[in-house]
Structure 1
């Protein structure tokens, strides 16, 4: 049901658009509550703040929250129609799907690797991996929100020169 809010461009009638928009917003509320429960669980855990797994969990929560907020923005059918074929939707998809999936795979490996293999990984290298990954993720995908809000279409081979610096920054 949530995916339908990205399909407002297919010519749904107004009643159907309002229904799917409302359902998407209603689903967004428990998801926001879920983020607070993750934070509460993290506060009650007996883990140390300098533990790389905790860094990745906090990074996942931040990336998931950014993706969730942009999802609520896109759940309004009129805004989704305006931003449908822009880089805003691409940034939203990457924050929710790609970055969330990548973070959970890394968290799983960090958690289970020492248990399965019997060797611990270097804490400082893992922290460096987190820093480089978070900077790289946000340098690549965060500017896409602004590109989309300015109307930069996706799937084009030549860009307006006004978008050059943001596109270059995002492509580093």
Structure 2
């Protein structure tokens, strides 16, 4: 009985840890999604600035002469700076997407573990309920048998299925009492 209680407590604590981890990972995923949104808007803004730079380039070409040369050098520098910033933002966005995919994979894995733990917990609880019921039946049976009466007590085995797949058979014993030539189970 203590072993089952210990298992139940262990399963409960493990379940709470797994749920806490799942919540933390979900918060990280939400944070990463917000970061991706802000990076995408920055990327859009950068593209707009790049278009403006292109227009400035074409306007500088119209003015000609020395001013054009200086303007085009200045515009080229700005364009190069914008390209570098854009490349950095693209790399950050790709990194965040990879982190998001990994976080979602870990979340699915954690959810599977939580489901497995719930199944195990339910199995342990069902086994505990069965044992309590059997102990109660045995107590009632001992009380009936101790009153004296007709016939004797006999312990009879019976099989029951355990688990969700129904593929495990477990042997239990129950008390039967013969009374006036009839076999009847001792139940509570």
Greater helix fraction, Structure 1 or Structure 2: 1
Larger RCO: 1 or 2 (CA < 8 Å, sep 6+): 1
Larger Cα Rg: Structure 1 or Structure 2?
2
Instruction: Give the TM bin, normalised by the shorter chain.
Output: 0.3 to 0.5
Scaled by the length of structure 2, the TM-score of the pair is 0.31
Scaled by the length of structure 1, the TM-score of the pair is 0.34
